[in-house]
Structure 1
Amino acid sequence: MNATIIDGKSFAEQTLAQTRAEAQALSAAGWAPRLVSISVGDVAAAELYVRNQQKRAEAAGVGFEARNYPASISLEQLQGVLAGLNADPRINGIIIQRPLPAHIPVKALQKAVHPLKDVEGMHPASIGNIVYNDLELGPCTAVAAVEILKSLPLQMEGLNVCVIGHSEIVGKPIAFLMMGLGATVTVCHHMTRQVAVHSRAADAVFVAVGKPGLVHGDMLKPGAALIDIGINRVDGRTVGDADFDSCAEVAGWITPVPGGVGPVTVSILMKNAVRATRLQMEHYQAAFAAAV
Structure 2
Amino acid sequence: MHSFGAMSFGLPGFASCTPGGIMRLLDEYGVELAGRRAVVIGRSAILGKPVGMLLLARDVTVTYCHFRTADLSAIVREADIVVAAVGRPRLIRGQDIKPGAVVIDAGYNPGNIVDVDVDVDVDVDFDTARTRARLITPVPVGVGPMTIAVLLAQTVEAAEQRLGSRGR
State whether residues 136 and 275 of structure 1, in contact with CA within 8 Å, keep that contact through their aligned partners in structure 2.
no
Aligned position for 1:231: 108
Aligned partner (choices 146, 150, 155) of residue 264 of structure 1? 146
Q: Deviations over 1:220-260 (max 9, x none)?
A: 10010000001232686334211110001111100000110
Please say which structure displays the higher CA radius of gyration.
1
Aligned partner of 1:192: which letter?
A: T
Aligned position for 2:36: 159
Structure 1 residues 135 and 167: alpha-carbon distance in aligned structure 2, compared to 1, 3 A threshold = farther
Aligned position for 1:284: 166
Aligned position for 1:193: 70
Aligned position for 1:210: 87
Normalised by the size of structure 1, how large is the TM-score?
0.53
Instruction: Report the structure, 1 or 2, having the larger helix content.
Output: 1
Q: Deviations over 1:80-120 (max 9, x none)?
A: xxxxxxxxxxxxxxxxxxxxxxxxxxxxxxxxxxxxxxxxx
Distance 1:219 1:135 in 2: 36
Identity rate of aligned residues, in percent?
35
Distance 1:227 1:183 in 2: 15
Task: Return 5+ residue gaps in structure 1 as ranges.
Answer: 1-123
RMSD (CA atoms)? 1.8
Aligned partner (choices 92, 101, 125) of residue 243 of structure 1? 125
Distance 1:256 1:276 in 2: 30
Aligned partner (choices 42, 45, 62) of residue 168 of structure 1? 45
Distance 1:243 1:190 in 2: 15
Q: Deviations over 1:17-40 (max 9, x none)?
A: xxxxxxxxxxxxxxxxxxxxxxxx
Distance 1:210 1:134 in 2: 30
Structure 1 residues 201 and 183: alpha-carbon distance in aligned structure 2, compared to 1, 3 A threshold = same
Distance 1:257 1:131 in 2: 28
Distance 1:154 1:169 in 2: 23
Distance 1:266 1:283 in 2: 26
Task: Return 5+ residue gaps in structure 2 as ranges.
Answer: none
Aligned partner of 2:42: which letter?
A: G
Distance 2:114 2:162 in 1: 45
Greater RCO (CA < 8 Å, at least 6 residues apart) = 1
